């Protein structure tokens, strides 16, 4: 069994790159569901106009984003979708990495049962809302410690980040309101992977 990924203490860009190629695992009803992380976005905290913690904003909803690196931050958006983030850095930093897509490898038939609109595996987890729906993640899992939780964790499949030539960086998706921060190349994905979100 692979060991758990625990390298969450760095800045969000570094952690985002480290997470590509690792395995996200969700355990529910005694079953493992999960796959390889193929797309992420970094959110840089109080200076980042696209971050939920911009200017040190604190609410009941974003409290988990201020936890020690390695916790889950799950938020609800547009009144219908959940999104899973991995908190980075030290407690109080307010930085995180959004998991945008995984390549499904385990429990795929159970993902299809939850993602009834999907007709092929590339539609299961190719976007942050699809990912949380497929893995049955909601605010109930917000704040979980990924180093200890039996329900949600990341397994280390790689000791080193993917080579730069295999990683594409682009502006983040859906943050046009953030001005110049919307143009920062803080979205990273594995080049050529068919499970990356359609916003590629």
- The arithmetic mean of pLDDT across residues 62-71, rounded, is 98
- Smallest CA-to-CA distance from 53 within 29, 88, 28, 21 is with 88
Residues in the chain: 200
> pLDDT grade, residue 79 (50/70/90)?
confident
Interacting residues of 77 by C-beta distance below 8 A, sequence separation 6+: 83, 129
The model's pTM: 0.96
Local confidence band at 78 (pLDDT 50, 70, 90 cut-offs): confident
Task: Return the structure tokens found at 168.
Answer: 């594409």
pLDDT at 92 over 80: yes
Pair of tokens at residue 10: 């760095």
N-to-C CA span, the chain: 32
Domain ranges of the chain: 12-190
**pLDDT at 103 > cutoff 60:** yes
Cβ distance 65 to 46 under 8 Å? no
Q: H/E element holding 15?
A: helix 12-19
Please answer whether residues 149 and 28 qualify as being in contact, where contact means their C-beta atoms are separated by less than 8 angstroms: no
Residue corresponding to tokens 């990683």: 167
54 φ/ψ angles, rounded to the nearest 5 degrees:
-55, 135
Q: What is the mean pLDDT of residues 167-177?
A: 96
Provide the CATH topology of domain 12-190: 3-methyladenine DNA Glycosylase; Chain A (3.10.300)
Q: Which residues on adjacent β-strands are paired with residue 87?
A: 96
Residue 49 Cα distances to 24, 55, 74, 116, angstroms:
28, 8, 19, 35
Q: Count the helices and strands in the chain (H runs, E runs).
A: 3, 8
Q: Which of 192, 196, 16, 172 is nearest to 124 (CA)?
A: 196
Residue 94 is predicted with a pLDDT of 98
Beta strand extents in the chain (DSSP E only): 23-28, 31-43, 72-77, 81-88, 95-106, 152-155, 167-170, 187-190
Q: Is the confidence at residue 143, as pLDDT, over 80?
A: yes
């Amino acid at each position: 069994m692979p060991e758990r990924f625990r390298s969450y203490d760095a800045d969000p860009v570094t952690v985002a790159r480290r997470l590509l190629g690792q395995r996200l695992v969700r355990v529910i009803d005694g079953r493992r569901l999960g796959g390889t992380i193929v797309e992420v976005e970094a959110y840089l905290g109080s200076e980042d106009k696209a971050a939920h913690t911009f200017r040190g904003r604190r609410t009941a909803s974003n409290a988990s984003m201020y936890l020690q690196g390695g916790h889950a931050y799950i938020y609800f958006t547009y009144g219908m979708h959940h999104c899973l983030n991995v908190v980075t850095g030290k407690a109080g930093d307010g930085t995180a990495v959004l998991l945008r897509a995984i390549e499904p490898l385990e429990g795929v038939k159970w993902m299809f049962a939850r993602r009834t609109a999907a007709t092929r595996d590339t539609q299961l987890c190719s976007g942050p809302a699809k990912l949380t729906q497929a893995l049955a993640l909601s605010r109930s899992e917000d704040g979980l410690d990924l180093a200890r939780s039996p329900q949600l964790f990341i397994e280390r499949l790689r000791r080193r980040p993917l080579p730069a030539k295999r990683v594409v960086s682009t502006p983040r998706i859906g943050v046009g309101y953030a001005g110049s921060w919307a143009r920062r190349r803080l979205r990273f994905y594995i080049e050529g992977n068919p499970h990356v979100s359609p916003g590629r």
